[in-house]
Structure 1
Amino acid sequence: MRFPEWIKNPHGYFIISLLILLATLATWTLPAGEYQRVKDPHSGKTVVDPASYAIVESQPVNPFKMLQAIPTGFRQSAGIIAFVFLIAGAIQIIRATGALDAGIIAAVKFMQGKDTPLLVCIMLVFALLGAFFGFAEETIPLIPLGVAMALALGYDRVVGFHLVRTAAWVGFAGAIMNPFTIGVAQSIAEVPLYSGIGYRVVCFLVFFVIAAWFILRYARSCKGDPSKSILWGYKEEEGEMAKYDLDYSMQELTLVRKLILLLLLSGIGIQIWGVIKYEWYTTEISALFLGVGLLAGILARMNPTQLFREFVNGAKGVTYGALIIGFARAIVVILENGKVLDTVVYGFAMPLAHVGSVGAGVVMFLVQSGINFFIGSGSGQAAATMPIMTPLSDLVGVTRQTAVLAFQFGDGITNMFYPAMIYYLAFADIPYDRWVRHIAKLTLLLTVAGGVLVAVAAWIGYGPF
């Protein structure tokens, strides 16, 4: 049976629209329920009272309310959408100076014949950024650079995406000191902040080795045989590939270009410092990179018209990815408005009361993986679920530290699989349907590894507490 093209290669917005429709249907079929929210004195977050779930009057979302959820999603996601546009514009200014192309070409020439060490080093850097600092949206400016480097080395765009974003996802999932997940979850669970770090280092290494093996294996296969690429036969939009091509006419590393690269590296360093010390997020990082981009244009002696033309070109190039953020947020808006988001969380949590301690740890992990589909924010998921998981872990004999670990893995691993991350793929022009078939293998491997690591944690009484 031959399926039409729109079914074989569904558009990302079509997939998100189907999920919005399913969320709307859920408000008509699931019982409405709510937890009471209270302020947690340890974390300062507004969290749920685990004993307060109650059925409330049904509030099904009608079709017009469903459509209203989309602009509401845009309003609630305005900070991230603005971040994407501003970052893309600033990076395009820097790219137009020739500094990035010259730097990448120099690195490729220097490492010629040493692809594997280069790929592993880049992956490790981004995995550590995810593991220690919770880098997620912060990696967006560097995805096109990873793609450009991968193409220059003879790989496909997927390898470039893996080097930056997948590596950071793996680090985020196997986090060591991620303040957005571990920090919030441990505070709510009332265990010492960043305690249990030794076992998490082991978990990080296990995750990184699995991911590195997966990525390098794919890289070698598609370099040796381009037909092995998941993008083989995929038709890009007209002119789409041009933005990833390195301009070899600008490969000379002049003094000005060296200064611009130093400025960019300094900006990345300041970003890391700001995230750690002052908990910077999208507003501060957007402002920082906007300043770096403007200074780079001034150093390159661009006139105002050139500078802002490049800025607009960069912003235009990420419209597909930026706008889909608002559509994805609409799913949560609908579930909240229909009073069924808490019902989903409650339904996921209940099976934990009926299994043994080791089994409960694994079920916690799987439950958190399911909830991650509905609550994409790591800190938001911690605030919604840890007040429930903490007393449940006490009841079933699982240490609170194990409950935090189960949350960490559940929140992190499936991030690279769920449709909410379609907007990341837009920065490398990777179709979601092909990505899902590809990344499902790594997701499954990490899920199995995560289940084993959580089971061991429950078995050994991973603590403290």
Structure 2
Amino acid sequence: MSPKGSEKKKIFKVPHTFVIILFIILFAVVLTWVVPAGEFERFKNDQGINVINPETFSFSEKTPVSLFRIPTFIVEGLSKSVNLFFLIILSGGAFNVIVTSGALQGAIGKIARKFSHKESIFIPILTLTFGLICTTQGVNMFIGFAPVMVMIARAMGFDSIVGVAIILLGGAVGFSTGTLNPSTTIVAQKIGELPLYSGIEYRAFSFVIYMIVTNLFLIRYAKSVRKTPTLSPMYELDQSDSLSDNMNLDNMGHMDTRKWLVILSLVGALAVIVYGGIRLDWGLTESSAAFLWLGIIAGIAAGYGPSKIANCFVDGAKKMVSAALIIGMAKTVSGVLSAGHIIDTIVFGLGNALNMVPAFMQGAAMYIANNFINAFVTSGSGQAAATMPIIMPLADMVGITRQTAVLAFNFGDGFSNYVLPTSTALMGILSAANIPYDRWMKFMWKMFLVWVATGCVLVFVAQMINLGPM
């Protein structure tokens, strides 16, 4: 019989996102029994959007929610999210066709061969590539691509961290600035009754600022570890295998006419979606249809037959089912709070708390608060669906535009994903590249602080200029 001291301790495992959201739903139900019911009067503003009158809050009779109604609220949340569900599913299918074609791998390999000794050009080109793709997609779609980037980075004299950082940091900027993101920006804007894709100019400006700051940091790090390899947190682990010795940039996939056509179809589809959203008043249905066309056209360009296109599309769609379901689950939270008539009470309380913060710092405070929320709900779409019904009226109450609130949400939801061990994108890519979390954080903590400071400044500017519409 082994002594008790030799027994293995149980290691805490972070629950599945569905479980976390279920606990949040249960907490929301409890709140309907504890928090007094109340409401603001609402009116349509000059743009025809329903907003609260912050001077008209009053308490009302309690309407607590029964635990037995939770399944009903979940189904209702899924029903209300059907358009978003299809958008996420179809975009995932389309991008899987593109990744399967090898076009992205070939394009990156071509860039690597051309700029192998010019990190000041090579790194920004690749981070920009991943950033642009992740304006509509989550970084987790590149989990399988992480070993390839690590091999390229090490063949060029860098360490493993540079390889995954190109994906993670570039993708982080694209995803977190929310330029076109359907699972965060569009969800938040739809809940906030804002025109879809509105405010894109400032988000694009934020994308550029973040991309510059991130590349300056990463290039400096890459040059330092190439000059002095022992400075790398991964030095011993990288030296323990012969990965870089067996890597030749000439072995990377090469581009041909078909692959260039696939890339062209991707660029064209994104351009059409942006134009449609800005000029043609497209909604989620039209954007979903565009992704469906992208999958078909990219498959034809790659030389795939109908069955191959269908198989690739379905495989990609399967990977996005969980993210799509999370939206419906998260919408349950707002459904419960609404049924209990306590959303306005929570907004009233938060508004009073936020009013204690100096007015010029309220936007930044909202951004920092979203970072803490993201520690518990790492799904961007889930966080948007769960928090926007509260944050939007709160923004109305304290005098911050809803567009600024969306920006604060985007930054808070996105950038913290690259330091949180609960993030599937981060942990998946680190695992694929065999990089321990603690080694990553030795590199990443400074970058994250730079990101937070940059975000505070950008949200502050947005608040000062009354970023609109609304």
Mark yes or no: TM-score above 0.5. Answer: yes
* Corresponding position of 2:312: 310
1:18-42 per-residue CA deviation (whole Å, 9 max, x = no partner) reads 3222222222222222223322223
Residues 223-242 of structure 1: matches in 2 within 5 Å? none
Q: Given the alignment of the two structures, is residue 164 of structure 1 paired with residue 171 of structure 2, yes or no?
A: yes
The number of residue pairs the alignment matches comes to 410
Quote how far apart the aligned CAs of 1:365 are.
Answer: 3.7
Matched with 1:337 is 339
Partner residue in 2 for 1:17? 22
Structure 2: how far apart are the matches of 1:13 and 1:182?
23
Identity value in percent: 25
- Give the aligned partner of residue 273 of structure 2: 271
1-structure distance, mates of 2:285, 2:271: 17
**3-state DSSP class of the match of 2:61?**
coil
TM-score by length of 1: 0.68
How far apart, CA to CA, are the structure 2 residues paired with 1:431 and 1:327?
A: 28
**Residue 463 of structure 1, CA deviation:** 7.5
Residue 43 of structure 2 aligns to a residue whose secondary structure is: strand
Q: CA deviation at 1:291?
A: 1.0
Question: Is the partner of 2:255 in helix, strand or coil?
Answer: coil
Closer/same/farther in 2, CA of residues 201 and 340 from structure 1, 3 Å limit: same
Partner SS for 2:341: coil
Structure 1 stretch displaced more, 150-159 or 32-41:
150-159
How far, CA to CA, are the matches of 1:50 and 1:334 in structure 2? Answer: 23
**Distance verdict in 2 for CA 1:346–1:117, change over 3 Å:** farther
Q: Deviations over 1:211-269 (max 9, x none)?
A: 4466667888999699958xx9xxxxxxxxxxxxxxx9892423222222222222222
CA contact (8 A) 2:109 2:254 kept: no
The equivalences for 1:238-317 within 5 A come to 251-317=253-319
**Could you tell me which residue of structure 1 aligns to residue 247 of structure 2?**
none
1:244 aligns to what? Answer: none
C-alpha contact 1:158 1:428 (8 A) present in aligned 2: no
The aligned amino acid for 1:274 is G
Distance of 1:365 and 1:213 partners within structure 2: 24
Match in the other structure for 1:393: none
Matched AA of 2:273: Q
Q: How does 1:25-424 map to 2 (within 5 A)?
A: 25-42=30-47, 44-123=48-127, 138-140=136-138, 143-144=141-142, 147=145, 150-151=149-150, 153-154=152-153, 155=160, 157=164, 159-170=166-177, 210-212=213-215, 251-351=253-353, 359-363=358-362, 365-367=364-366, 370=369, 373=373, 376=384, 383-390=392-399, 407=405, 410-416=408-414
Once residues 416 and 370 of structure 2 are traced to their aligned partners in structure 1, the CA distance between those partners, rounded to angstroms, is: 11
Q: Are 1:33 and 1:55, in contact at CA under 8 Å, matched by a contact in 2?
A: yes
CA contact (8 A) 2:74 2:331 kept: yes
Q: Distance in 1 between matches of 2:279 and 2:303?
A: 34
Shift of 1:276: 2.7
8 Å CA contact 2:191–2:389 kept in 1: the answer is: no
Identify if the C-alpha distance between structure 1 residues 90 and 380 changes in structure 2 by more than 3 Å, giving closer, same or farther.
same
- Structure 2 gaps of 5+ residues are 154-159, 238-249, 374-381, 432-436
Paired position in structure 2 for 1:245: none
Instruction: Name the structure 2 match of 1:4.
Output: 10
TM-score by length of 2: 0.67
Check 1:309–1:300 CA distance in 2 against 1; reply closer, same or farther (3 A cut).
same
Counterpart CA distance in 2 for 1:281 and 1:10 is 34
Q: Which moved more, 1:380-389 or 1:51-60?
A: 380-389
CA contact (8 A) 1:69 1:334 kept: yes
Cα offsets for 1:403-429 (capped at 9, x unmatched): 67964653333122689x999845983
- In structure 1, distance between residues paired with 2:392 and 2:466: 21
3-state secondary structure, aligned to 1:41: coil
Q: 1:220 to 1:181 in 2, by over 3 A?
A: farther
- DSSP 3-state at the match of 2:295: helix
Query: For the Cα contact (< 8 Å) 1:119–1:163, is it kept in 2?
Result: no
Partner of 1:153, secondary structure, is: helix
Q: Aligned in 2, Cα 1:140/1:283: closer, same or farther, shift over 3 Å?
A: farther
Alignment check: 8 A CA contact 1:96 1:310 kept = yes
Provide the secondary structure at the position in 2 that maps to 1:50.
Answer: coil
